Structures are given as structure tokens and as C-alpha cells.
Structure 1
Amino acid sequence: MLTIYVGYKILDHICYSICGDQIVTVDEECDDGNLIIGDGCHFCNYSCQDSCLNCVQGECLKCKEITNNFYQIANSVAQIKSIIY
């Protein structure tokens, strides 16, 4: 008798992971429970938008770096304003 583990199903006596059940199994990188393209996880694999050149675990590093640089600039401006005023 086969044991069925959480996140898996048996089909023709073979155990398969269930993509889309929000349970990450050994053969899935991610499982967000939907099939939305560009949300970081698509068909249980990490994914980014097509324009992303450096996708790491569903995050586009270029976008993340730009956001971080923006916050650094915004913080610098806030510090300058506090010195001036």
C-alpha cells in the first residue's frame, strides 16, 4: 500500500506533487496557490517579468536595487532638509 503525503497525489501508482495547493514540496520551488504570471511564482517555479535580467527566487534584483537606491536618496534628502531647517 502506498502512503500519500500532504501536497502529493497518486496517479497510475506514481506519486506527483500538487502544484497550486499552497504546499511547497521537494520538487517545487514555490507554491502560491495561483497561476498568475509575474507574481514571483508561476507553475510552482520562481519567475519574474520577461524584462527582468536578474531573477532570484522570484524577485527582480534590478528592481529591488532601484527601490533601495530610491530610499537611500530619499533618506539623504530628508537628512539634508533636517540640517537646513
Structure 2
Amino acid sequence: MAINLDIQNILVLKRMYELRNVRLVAESLGKTSGAISKNLTKMKTQFDDPLFVQTKHGFEPTTFVETNMAHFEQILMSVDSIKPQNFSP
């Protein structure tokens, strides 16, 4: 199964995992709450999982998110480690 992952969506997922609040995630990334919801909806569709369940204490991650968060974090670290090189013809 081929999955097209958007790095921005993974970043949103990670921040949501950390903050458990759409408004706080939006503020931390300089986006609107609507944009954050859109990012999460794309990932929900891709993985056929609700990702987070709303409770009286905020949003709680699903088992899928708990199980795979280390993989998502590793993807973000890998992308972050790519350094541009100066080009000199």
C-alpha cells in the first residue's frame, strides 16, 4: 500500500499529540484552527483512523497514533537532518 505523506500533516499530527488541543496547535504553527482540522482530516482519510478522540480532558490519541508516533517523529527528524549544500559550478 503506497501512502503519500505530507510533511506538514505529520508535523500537525505530532503537535496535536503533544498539545491535545486544535487551537493551541494552530497558534504554535501560525495557522488557523480550520487549517489544522483540514490537515488532520487528510491523515484520517489516508490511514482510515480517527487519530484522536475528543474527551472531557481534550483530545486523546487512538491506538494507531500511539503505536506509530515514533515512526512519525523519525520521519520529521530525517527531513530536518537534510542540509542544503552550496552549489559551485
Per the normalisation by structure 2, the TM-score is 0.30
Per chain length, whose mean CA-contact separation is higher, i.e. which structure has more relative contact order (CA < 8 Å, sep 6+)? 2
> Which has the larger strand fraction?
1
Larger Rg: 1
More helix by share: 2
Query: What TM-score does the superposition give when structure 1 sets the normalisation length?
Result: 0.31
